[in-house]
Structure 1
Amino acid sequence: MTATEAKLFLRDPGAPITVVGIPLALLLVFSLIPGASQRTEEFDGSSVMANLIAPLSVAVLLGMLALTIFPTFMATYREKGVLRRLAASPVSPSTLLSAQLIVNLAAALVVVLLVIVVGTAVIGMEAPANPLGLTISAVLGTASLFAMGLLIAAVATTGRAAGAIGSAAFFPMLALGGVWVPKENLPSFLQGLADVLPMGATYNALRETWAGGDPLLLQLGSMVAFTVVCLVLAARLFRWQ
C-alpha cells in the first residue's frame, strides 16, 4: 500500500514539484542577496541564510505537506468512496492512512536533507550548529503539524474543502507565527503567540537550534500539546465514509 501511494504521489507532477521546488527556490533566490551567507552580529554570528531562510524553507515545506497536501489526498479518497470500499476489503482504511503518512513524512525528510545539503555545499551556508536540538524540533514540529492535518482530514468532506481549511490554517500561521516576519519584529503582544502556534513554534525552534541555541520550553510544550489535542480530536471525529 505504501509503494502504491508513493507511485500515486509521484505520478501527480504538482505535488512533487511543489514540495521540492518551493523550499529550494526560497533557498536559492534568497542566496542571491549580497551578504546573505555572511555571518553577522545581528544574528549572533550566524548568517541570514542559516538564521532565517533555511528554517523558513523547512517550516513552509512541513506546513504545505501537513496542512494542504496530506488532508486533501485523504478527503479526496473519502469523497470518491475509496475509503468506504477499502473498509469492505482485506485492506483496512487505517493501512491507507499509515501509508499516506509514511509517504508524506518520507517526502519531508528528503527535502529537509536537500535544504541542508544544498545550503551548505552549494550556497556556503553554515550547517546546523545544534543538530540534536534541530532534530528534536523538526520531529515535534512535524508531529504537531501532521496532527493538525489529520484533524482537517477528519472533518473535511471533499478534497476542495480540505484544501480550503488547510489554507485557512496555513497562511495565518505564516503571519502570526513569525515566519514571514521574524517574531522579534512583530508587535510585543504577538511575540508570545509566535512561539505557541505550531508553525511558529516549529520555525522559531529551528531558528534557535540552527544558530546553536536550544529550543524554548514554550515551543516544545506547544508542539507536544497541539499534537496530543489534535490527535485525540481527529480520532473522535474521523469517519471513513
Structure 2
Amino acid sequence: MLTKLTLTEAKLFLRDPAAPIAVAGIPLGLLLVFGLQPGIRQPSADFGGQVPLSAFIAPLALAVLLGMLALTVFPAAIATYREKGVLRRLSASPVPPSRLLTAQLLVNVVAALVVVVLVLGVGTLALRMAAPANPGGFLLVLVLGALALFAVGTVIAALAPSGKVASGIGSAVFFPMLALGGVWVPKEQLPGFLRHVADVLPLGATLNALRQAATGAAPSAVQLVSLAVVAAGCGAVAVRWFRWE
C-alpha cells in the first residue's frame, strides 16, 4: 500500500510542472550562472585559497534545494491535504494517514536525491568542478541536513491549517535562514556573532558543513550537533502536535 501511495504522490508531484521545475531549476541555475563566471573555478583568497565553485557555489545550491523542498513544498502539500479533508477521510479508512505523510516524505527525499546527483554531475562533468574531497562527511551532512530541515517542515505541516498558510510560514522561515545562514552572504563576511548563528540555524549549518566537507575538512561538531538537535526536537514537536484535520 505504501508503494502505491508513494507512486501516486510522485505522479501528483510531477503533474504540476511548477514544483519540479523550481526544485531542479533553481539549484542548477545557481550552479550554472555562478559557475560560468570568470575566475569562479580558480583558487580565491576570499575562500581561503579554495575554488569558489566547489567550496561554496555547489554546497549553496544543495542547501537551497533541501530548504525549498523541506520548508515550502512539503509542508504546503500536507497542509493542502488537511484543508481539503483528505487527511480526515484517510483517518476513517483502513489506510493510516501516517502513510500519506511517509509517502510525501519519500517523494521529496527522492526528488532531493535526483537533484543532488544532477548538481554534482553537471558540476563535475560540464564545469570541471572538483568532487567533494571528504565524500563521507559530505554525505553525512546531506543526511543530517535533510533530517533537520524536513523536521522543521513537518512542524509547519503539523500546525498550518491550509496550503497558503503553510507556504507563508515556510517562506517566513526559509528566507531569514538564507540571510542569516551564510547563503546570501558567505559566513566569513558576516559580523562575528552572526557567524555563530549561521552554524546553528539548520540551513546555515547544512551549508557551512557541506562547505567544509567539500574542501576535505571534517564538518564542525557544532554544526553536526545543531542539526541533530533540530531534527530530534522538531521531530518530537511534530509528532506531538500533528493534526489530521
TM-score, normalised to structure 2's length? 0.97
- Structure 1 counterpart of 2:238: 234
1:134 aligns with 2:138: yes
* 2:123 aligned partner: 119
Match of 2:14 among 10, 17, 20: 10
Residue 149 (structure 1) aligned with residue 149 (structure 2): no
Cα shift at 1:41: 4.7
Give the match's secondary structure for 1:228. helix
TM-score by length of 1: 0.98
CA deviation after TM superposition for structure 1 residue 44, in Å: 4.1
Listed one character per residue, the Cα deviations across residues 102-139 of structure 1 (whole Å, up to 9, x for unaligned) are 00000000101111000000001111000000000110
> Structure 2 regions of 5+ residues with no counterpart?
none
How much has 1:45 moved relative to structure 2? 4.2
Match of 2:220 in 1: 216
Q: Quote how far apart the aligned CAs of 1:46 are.
A: 2.7
Q: 1:41 to 1:187 in 2, by over 3 A?
A: closer
Say yes or no: does 1:194 pair with 2:198: yes
Alignment counterpart, residue 78 of structure 2, candidates 67, 74, 78 = 74
Give 1:92 shift: 1.1
Structure 1 gaps, min length 5: none
What is the one-letter code of the residue matched to 1:122? A
What do the CA deviations read for 1:8-41 (whole angstroms, capped 9, x no partner)? 0000101100000000000000112101112335
Aligned residues: 241
2:92 alignment partner in structure 1: 88
CA shift, 1:200, in A, is 0.3
Asked if structure 2 preserves the Cα contact closer than 8 Å seen for 1:23 and 1:60, the reply is: yes
The percentage of aligned residue pairs carrying the same residue is: 61
Distance in 1, matches of 2:49 and 2:126, equals 20
